Amino acid sequence: MRRKRLVKIVLMAGAAAACLLAAGCSSLGYYAQAAHGQFSLLAQAKPIDDWLADPATSERLRAKLQTVREIRRFAVQQLSLPDNGSYKNYAQLQRPFVVWNVVAAPALSLKAKQWCFPIAGCVDYRGYYSRQDAQDYADDLVKQGYDVQVLGVPAYSTLGWFNDPVMSTFINYPDGELARLIFHELGHQVVYVKGDSQFNESYATTVEELGLDRWLQAQHDDKLAQAYRVFAARKEDFLELLLKYRSQLDANYESDADDADKLQRKAAIFDALRAEYQQLKVRWGGFSGYDRWFAMPLSNAHLALVGTYHDRVPAFRTLFRQSRDFADFFERVKALAKLDKPQRDEQLDRLQATSATAAK
């Protein structure tokens, strides 16, 4: 197994080297930190069986790892997700997040800046294994006039190139959130389209939501199900709040006002967003789980990716209803993935329209 992983590392290093020859030396530092970070992560991961057999493993961690094994088994047997080495190892990291993503958007637009890579294609973020490296890069973008957010990320998918480990950055999530995250990341291993972040993330979000519904039903645990319903309701409230103000910002940027007026209106919209969030917290009984999102000054970068994860979910849910089961759903998504983007978007538009009609 280690030999196979080493071969993959060598292959990826070769791909990165080829890219560097084309992109120039300015990319050398970025790809070096990415390769070092991924290799270090794999080196720290040990089989879950080893952690369970170690008497030094805490009872809390032991219970969580057992839960992961059950979630992993369910993913394969009930959701037709890949039966491979992912989420069968555990890595104890000495940092709160595995990577930090830099997201950027122009001062008067919600269109995210894109970065292109050899394997993932073009995506709306740039990841760093060091928070300081991410912040340094973000500071450079701010000097160029971009709105920027540095976002800590607890997990990511290597799209099957490596056996993605369970990590300390998310192992202590509530069980429902733990299952949701694993289903989402395994979904990326089934289907991934280079350069189409909205397709990839909306599809994976659909997999996590549908998978979690089935997993919760299989647990026969009313307390667990109720806890997740509360979490999901808050998440939906928060998403609706963001979409409301994203729409206001879009209207502002597309208006005929001059740039100075647009900037003034932008500041007022973000002030209103902060104020309404405080009202939402009161309705939630003081729950502060989204405070971290507001920790930095709000900007277009905070809202640039909101639609990426959710806008196409109704279309994928319609496609699932048209499918016999998860395996058939994945085959239908793969067929969409093979189309060029205009054709793919046309098919998703039709599915979206079907979903809207059914909701009336």
pLDDT, tens digit, for every residue of 249-261?
Answer: 999 999 999 999 9
The per-residue pLDDT for 359 is 66
3-state secondary structure of 280: helix
Question: Could you say which of 196, 223, 250 is where a domain stops?
Answer: 223
Residue 330 domain flag: no
Do both 110 and 158 map to the same domain?
Answer: yes
Do both 60 and 190 map to the same domain?
Answer: yes
3-state secondary structure of 164: coil
Task: Report the 10 Å Cβ neighbour count for 345.
Answer: 18
Do both 79 and 206 map to the same domain?
Answer: yes
Q: What is the DSSP letter of 43?
A: H
Residue 325 domain flag: no
Residue 80 domain flag: yes
Do both 57 and 38 map to the same domain?
Answer: no
pLDDT band at 198 (very low <50, low <70, confident <90, very high): very high
Owning domain of residue 30: 1-43
Do both 102 and 120 map to the same domain?
Answer: yes
Crossing angle of helices 326-338 and 197-219, in 10° steps, is 180
Do both 122 and 163 map to the same domain?
Answer: yes
pLDDT, tens digit, for every residue of 128-179?
Answer: 999 999 999 999 999 999 999 999 999 999 998 899 999 999 999 999 999 9
Residue 338 domain flag: no
Do both 122 and 261 map to the same domain?
Answer: no
What residues does 91 pair with on adjacent strands?
A: 167
Question: Could you say which of 191, 223, 255 is where a domain stops?
Answer: 223
- Taking a C-beta distance cutoff of 8 angstroms, is the pair 89, 48 a contact? yes
pLDDT, tens digit, for every residue of 272-298?
Answer: 999 999 999 999 999 999 999 998 889
